[in-house]
Amino acid sequence: MIDNRNHPVHLSTARIKAMCTRRTGIGADGLILIEPSRHFDFSMNYYNADGLPGSMCGNGGRCAVYFAHATGVPAADQGRYSFEANGNRYEAAVTGKETVRLHMLDPEDFRNAVAVEGFNCHYVNTGSPHAVIYIESRKLEALDVSGHGKAIRLRSDVFPGGTNVNFLEITAPDSISVRTFERGVEDETLACGTGAVAAALMSFRLGKVSSSTVKVKVRSGDTLEVAFSEDLKSVTLTGPAKIIYRGIAEVQNDGL
């Protein structure tokens, strides 16, 4: 996460990938630049770990808001921010200590029961494309998420441009557990915000959960809360956002 408002840096794909590479770089699932916006409190510019521009990152958006709050980015209303990402407007609020609620875009392009790689996949776009796959109770933990996820992610004949892949199980009428293979990271990650939203919305749409507020346990052990209206709109994503360290890295500016 870089405050890029006053001292702009321009990073190449290769440099971003090197920065995100663990052990030889800083190490991250992605890179976010907080930049000026002409119409909103700030602009969020997100790159995947492969160095390429990414689609919306829900948890990244929440972290961007908390980072903006912690570093003193002015907001029109204290603790409440509006920002732009990928040409879309988002609103969010710091609702408590290290907690952020983000208003998501309305979901699009629902698809049901697509057979892919031996799995029954559902699909929805929540700002990023997501396949949703239900796993039998108590089998999620042992599942080869990286192997199966990669095979499905690469099926561009079914999912043009690829997709993120979420494997989940229903744990209660208002809760689910999710493991996600993320496009761009090309591996399982500890949490995916747009994936948590996709899993919660699809589960309600299919009648697998009965509550329009769904607790989503992710791989890190954290629990995110996804809330929405009965018609699957007015979607919010709430969860923790913590600054775990600050540092200085010498990065050569790659120019425009």
Catalytic, out of 20, 63, 121, 192: 192
Catalytic residue among 20, 57, 63, 121: 57
**119 secondary structure, DSSP code:** E
Would you say 169 and 161 are in contact if contact means Cβ atoms under 8 Å apart? no
CA angle 166, 196, 228 (to 5 degrees): 135
Question: In the annotation, is 57 catalytic?
Answer: yes
Q: How far apart are CA 232 and CA 168, in angstroms?
A: 19
How far apart CA 196 and CA 62 sit, in angstroms, is 13
Strand pairing category for 164-172 and 129-134:
parallel
Q: Which amino acid is at 171?
A: T
- Tell me the three state secondary structure of residue 42: strand
Going from the C-alpha of 127 to that of each of 20, 99, 114, 222, the distances in angstroms are: 22, 21, 20, 22
Dist CA 87 CA 46 (whole Å): 12
Cβ atoms of 28 and 16 within 8 Å: the answer is no
Q: What angle do CA 50, 53, 59 make, to 5 degrees?
A: 85
**Annotated catalytic, 63?**
no
Catalogue the active-site residues. 57, 192
